């Protein structure tokens, strides 16, 4: 899964692609949930914040994109979110949308406390396609 495509340097061609790994899920190396499609949005956002902090420490501006996959089959999620209408499995697309919203909310609540926040701008876009 793509964690971020980071543009560093003076030209847009100076790019680095960082792939998230389950080992980078939290400070102790534990994933919240890894499924058949990839890591959970929570893992992805947590790893992204750590990555952004490392980039910010360089003092150089950066641009990054996060692409999530929770709104895709098999719609499996970690236990403990049932009160939010997100069962571990069997919730379908509705649970996927609820989970994506939950994980993005957690990210946006954590981001202002991260070292990379200084001049950071967050833009959220959604692309939903049915094939």
Can you spell out the DSSP letters for 113-128?
A: GSGGGTT---------
In a domain, 103, yes or no: yes
Query: What is the crossing angle of helices 92-110 and 41-57, to 10°?
Result: 30
Domain assignment present for residue 129? The answer is: no
Residue 118: the pLDDT is 73
pLDDT for 88-111, tens place per residue? Answer: 988 998 998 899 899 999 999 998
Residue 122 lies in a domain: no
Token pair recorded at residue 48: 């992204």
pLDDT score at 38: 59
The per-residue pLDDT of the chain, averaged, comes to 74
The secondary structure of 68-81 as a DSSP string is --TTSTT----TT-
pLDDT classification of 3: cutoffs 50, 70, 90: very low
CB atoms within 10 A of CB 69: 17
In a domain, 54, yes or no: yes
The pLDDT value given to residue 98: 92
**89: helix, coil or strand?**
coil
pLDDT greater than 70 at residue 59? yes
Write down the pLDDT at residue 85.
93
Q: With respect to residue 124, please indicate whether it lies within any of the assigned structural domains.
A: no
127 part of a folded domain: no
Residue 22 has pLDDT above 70, yes or no: no
Q: Is the pLDDT of residue 13 over 60?
A: no
Q: Per-residue pLDDT for 8 more than 50?
A: no
Classify residue 126: in a domain, yes or no. Answer: no
Assess if residue 6 is contained within a domain: yes
The domain spanning residue 14 has which CATH number?
Answer: 3.40.720.10
- The residue with greater pLDDT, 88 or 4, is 88
- The pLDDT of residue 40 is 84
- Please give the residue range of the domain that contains residue 19: 2-117
Task: Decide: pTM greater than 0.75.
Answer: no
State the total domains in the chain: 1
């Amino acid at each position: 899964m793509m964690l971020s495509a980071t543009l560093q340097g003076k030209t847009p061609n100076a790019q680095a692609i960082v792939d998230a790994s389950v080992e980078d899920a939290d400070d102790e190396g534990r994933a919240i949930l890894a499924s058949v499609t990839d890591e959970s949005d929570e893992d992805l956002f947590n790893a992204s914040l750590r990555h952004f902090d490392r980039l910010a420490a360089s003092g150089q501006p950066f641009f990054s994109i996060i692409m999530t996959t929770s709104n895709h089959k098999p719609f499996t999620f970690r236990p403990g979110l049932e009160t939010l209408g997100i069962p571990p499995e069997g919730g379908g697309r509705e649970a996927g949308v609820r989970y994506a919203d939950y994980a993005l909310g957690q990210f946006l609540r954590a981001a202002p406390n991260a070292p990379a926040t200084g001049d950071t701008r967050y833009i959220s876009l959604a692309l939903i396609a049915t094939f």
